[in-house]
Amino acid sequence: MCACLAWHFYEIDAQMQFIAGGFETLMAPAGEIIDPVLETLALVEPKAGSAASLADLQARIASSAPGFHIVITSRPRACTGP
């Protein structure tokens, strides 16, 4: 799903930033970063994350430039209801 979204942004020549487990790009035209993004996605494996790493990601998103933020995770959805 991530690769499909990245390719879509490449096809429409959108600005994109990518963050994944130790790899991060600057905000740039998708055509400039698509190759390393797809390479990273080809090698990524799900791993258990700590609550601290999730909180860090949420803080980074909250303090980043305005725009759409798409987060794809293997983490199960938290139960928030009774």
Enumerate the domain spans of the chain: 2-63
pLDDT per position in the chain (82 positions), as tens? Answer: 889 999 999 999 999 998 887 788 989 999 999 999 999 999 987 776 666 677 777 787 777 777 777 877 776 766 555 5
Q: What pTM value is reported for the model?
A: 0.72
**What pLDDT score does 52 carry?**
63
Rounded CA-CA distance 72/46 in Å is 11
